[in-house]
Amino acid sequence: MELLAHFSHVVAVFLMVAGLYVVMARGNLIKKLVGLSVFQTSVYLLYIAPGKLIGGTAPILAPQYGLYSNPLPHVLILTAIVVGVATLALGLALAVRIREAYGSIEEDEIIAADNAAEEARP
Amino acid sequence: MSLSAHLPALQVVLPLLSAPLAVLLRHGGFACAVVTAGAWAAFAAAVGLWLQAGEVGVVSYHIGSWAPPWGIEYRVDRLASFVLLLVSGTAAIVLPYSRASIEREIPREQHYLYYAMFGLCLAGLLGITITGDAFNIFVFLEISSLSTYVLIALGRDRRALAAAYRYLIMGTIGATFIVIGIGFLYLMTGTLNLADMAERLRDVESSRAVLAALAFLTVGISLKLALFPLHQWLPNAYTHAPSAVTAFLAATATKVSVYVLIRFWYSVFGESLVYVELPLPRIMLLLSLAAMFAASFTAIFQDNLKRLFAYSSVGQIGYITLGLSFDSIDGLTASIVHLFNHGVTKAALFLLIGGMVIGLAKSGTVPPAPTFDRLAGLAKRMPLTCFGIVIAGLSLIGVPGTAGFVSKWYLIVAALEKEQFWLVGAILLSSLLAVAYVWRFVEVAYFKPAAEGTTRREAPLGLLIPAWLLVIATIWFGLDTSFTVGTAAEAAQQLVRVGK
């Protein structure tokens, strides 16, 4: 019961940890970005869920509505989504450039290429 | 309403406007003029705000006349005005320098984008400093971070791309941690205004959610400020970014993050929560010591001069956070002074190195990396540049007469006040490591024979003058401490008074 009562938080925390794990455990630059996006999205849930009241409406001043959901978290997260999209776009653009420069998007191959170049330098 | 009443808004809006203008102009020269004008205007605004904050204590500006806590408030106290001066001042010096520096480092058709990104980064950093709204901090943080990733990726070496990508991943994790922290605080207090939040936190203090918020914020901000084990993004990013970008970031980006940490610790959570409920000071002390020793030690063995000083930056950040771990006004003062002094010193160093690599390159070619094998006998070829690097290096060590000495002096005073005598030894010992890495440069540049037929060929004047301005500033702030220490002491007192 305890778990179900905090259902939204459980989901958010699961996504958060899963996303962070993907970022750390995967060597593929695109997969890392996928993990990063999941991680960021979990925070959106963390903000939005507490702002919603079951049965609440948008804050419209009218006699027939008495229960309002807090609109502020949604507005904040709208900004955070824009930031997340920009970050993802920039990350993907960098991945494309890295692929052009290194011919690979695997982290270990990139590090190996850097080390080889370092040793080849006289 | 006179113009001076709107200085807080102008402080951020002017550089923010200059960025899209630079993109619309699509011409390197015009873009440079516009963004430089924006930065100088921001510097003028920062001076104005510094004077205003000196008179009235705290300048509060309500965006769109919406009264806080509903509207967004811009709030300039002593500390904010000090950091604003550092950030806008560095930008005002680095931008004119950029013109000659990026000529060789960035393809010409991308110049206007460089200036646009620089303008955005500056606006973001100033915004973080000036805003009194928690979520606004996050938004400005992302504005400055995203533009920073692009600026780093503009480096010619392909490793710049990998460095930018790595910084993007770590920086975003840090920023997301900060959002989680702010989210918890918002859930607990129902407000985003920092001053209002601090007041409401007193009623819910030390509930688990508040402690979690403190932990998330501290870790997230520590990632951004490159606190020792979280500094992995920094060395590569500083090494491979264009010279002007390295100088600007080293002087401002990590320093603004330190500012955010001080802001949250002192102005929002308050001393009692940070220093009594959690073992944060002890953790901070250990990590700072680790940074001072491990990072400075790593710096000694670097082959690339830029990389060497990047590691030295991590070590110097250790001194700044060390001051925070004391929980005393003296410690906080030392932190704030070192934040400023180190910013000026590192900007001078990286600007000189930027001039040096251009002097090393044959005309029209991409400047090489400043590795030690290329620097042999450099003092014959570029005496002024090398002399400047030595002076800035002395400031990193903390030799009397330079800015670095002043901040280390106050750190030692703070340690003595807490009767931590072994810490005094640790500070002196870690300074010896700085002697070692600065000596490596001196040995190679002054005592190794130069190649046959070396003639004197300084870095271009357009690069030398801004760099030497900062070198002179390092000496100036070492001799006349009334501005730096005076402002920092006032800021520390203001912070502690409010935090109580």
Minimum distance, in Å, between the CA of residue A43 and any CA atom of chain B: 6
pLDDT value of residue A118: 80
Q: Does A49 contact chain B (CB < 8 Å)?
A: no
Q: Examine residue A59 and state whether it is found in any structural domain, yes or no.
A: no
CA contacts within 13 A on the Cβ side of B495: 32
pLDDT, one tens digit per residue, over B464-477 is 899 999 999 999 99
Residues of chain B contacting A72 with CB distance shorter than 8 Å: 192
Residue B373, pLDDT > 60, answer: yes
CATH number, domain of A25, equals: 1.10.287.3510
pLDDT value of residue A37: 95
**Is the Cβ–Cβ distance between A48 and A74 less than 8 Å?**
yes
Q: Do B168 and A94 touch (CB under 8 A)?
A: yes
- Who's near B480: CB < 8 A, 6+ residues apart? none
Residues of chain A contacting B135 with CB distance shorter than 8 Å: 76, 79
Secondary structure, 3-state, chain B: CCHHHHHHHHHHHHHHHHHHHHHHHCCHHHHHHHHHHHHHHHHHHHHHHHHHHHHHCCEEEEHHHCCCCCCCEEEECHHHHHHHHHHHHHHHHHHHHHHHHHHHHCCHHHHHHHHHHHHHHHHHHHHHHHECEHHHHHHHHHHHHHHHHHHHHCCCCCHHHHHHHHHHHHHHHHHHHHHHHHHHHHHHHCCCEHHHHHHHHHHHCCCHHHHHHHHHHHHHHHHHHCCHHHCCCHHHHHHHCCHHHHHHHHHHHHHHHHHHHHHHHHHHHCHHHHHHHCCHHHHHHHHHHHHHHHHHHHHHCCCEHHHHHHHHHHHHHHHHHHHHCCCCHHHHHHHHHHHHHHHHHHHHHHHHHHHHHHHHCCCCCCCCCCEHHHCCCHHHHCHHHHHHHHHHHHHHHCCCCCHHHHHHHHHHHHHHHCCCHHHHHHHHHHHHHHHHHHHHHHHHHHHCCCCCCCCCCCCCHHHHHHHHHHHHHHHHHHHCCHHHHHHHHHHHHHHHHHHC
Residues of chain A contacting B179 with CB distance shorter than 8 Å: 43, 80
Average pLDDT over residues B48-76: 88
**Is the Cβ–Cβ distance between B259 and B129 less than 8 Å?**
yes
pLDDT band at residue B100 using 50, 70 and 90 as cut-offs: confident
Q: Do B139 and A43 touch (CB under 8 A)?
A: no
Q: Which residue of B has its CA nearest to A104?
A: B162
- Count the domains in chain A: 1
**Is the Cβ–Cβ distance between B14 and B45 less than 8 Å?**
yes
Over pLDDT 90: what percentage of chain B? 53
Q: Do B183 and A43 touch (CB under 8 A)?
A: yes
3-state secondary structure of A87: helix
Minimum distance, in Å, between the CA of residue B237 and any CA atom of chain A: 14
Nearest to A39 among B139, B159, B176 (CB): B176
Q: Which residue of B has its CA nearest to A79?
A: B139
Q: Examine residue A44 and state whether it is found in any structural domain, yes or no.
A: yes
Q: Do B180 and A46 touch (CB under 8 A)?
A: yes
Count other C-beta atoms under 10 Å from residue B267's C-beta: 20
Q: Which residue of B has its CA nearest to A76?
A: B135
Residue B111, pLDDT > 80, answer: yes
CA contacts within 13 A on the Cβ side of A47: 27
**Is the Cβ–Cβ distance between B200 and B191 less than 8 Å?**
yes
Most confidently modeled range among A63-67, B230-234, B493-497: B230-234
pLDDT band at residue B453 using 50, 70 and 90 as cut-offs: low
Q: Which residue of B has its CA nearest to A29?
A: B165
pLDDT, one tens digit per residue, over A52-90 is 777 778 888 888 887 888 888 888 999 999 999 999 999
Q: Examine residue A58 and state whether it is found in any structural domain, yes or no.
A: no
Q: Which of A29, A94, A96, A115 to mutate to test the interface with B (most CBs of B within 10 A)?
A: A94
Adjacent-strand bridge partners of B74: B61, B131
Q: Does A26 contact chain B (CB < 8 Å)?
A: no
Element spanning A85, H or E: helix A72-102
Q: Examine residue A40 and state whether it is found in any structural domain, yes or no.
A: yes
Minimum distance, in Å, between the CA of residue A65 and any CA atom of chain B: 22
Q: What is the mean pLDDT of chain B?
A: 89
ipTM of the complex: 0.93
Q: Which residue of A has its CA nearest to B374?
A: A122
Q: Do B179 and A91 touch (CB under 8 A)?
A: no
By residue count, chain A amounts to 122
pLDDT value of residue B27: 84
Q: Do A97 and B153 touch (CB under 8 A)?
A: yes
Q: Do A90 and B161 touch (CB under 8 A)?
A: no
Minimum distance, in Å, between the CA of residue B168 and any CA atom of chain A: 7
pLDDT value of residue B360: 82
- Who's near B220: CB < 8 A, 6+ residues apart? B173, B174, B175, B176, B177, B178, B180, B181
Residues of chain A contacting B159 with CB distance shorter than 8 Å: 114
pLDDT, one tens digit per residue, over B1-31 is 578 888 999 999 999 999 999 999 888 889 8
Q: Does A110 contact chain B (CB < 8 Å)?
A: yes
Q: Do B158 and A101 touch (CB under 8 A)?
A: yes
Residue B406, pLDDT > 80, answer: yes
* A96 vs B376: CA distance, rounded Å: 38
pLDDT value of residue B239: 92
Range of the domain at A76: 2-53+64-120
Minimum distance, in Å, between the CA of residue B310 and any CA atom of chain A: 18
Q: Examine residue A101 and state whether it is found in any structural domain, yes or no.
A: yes
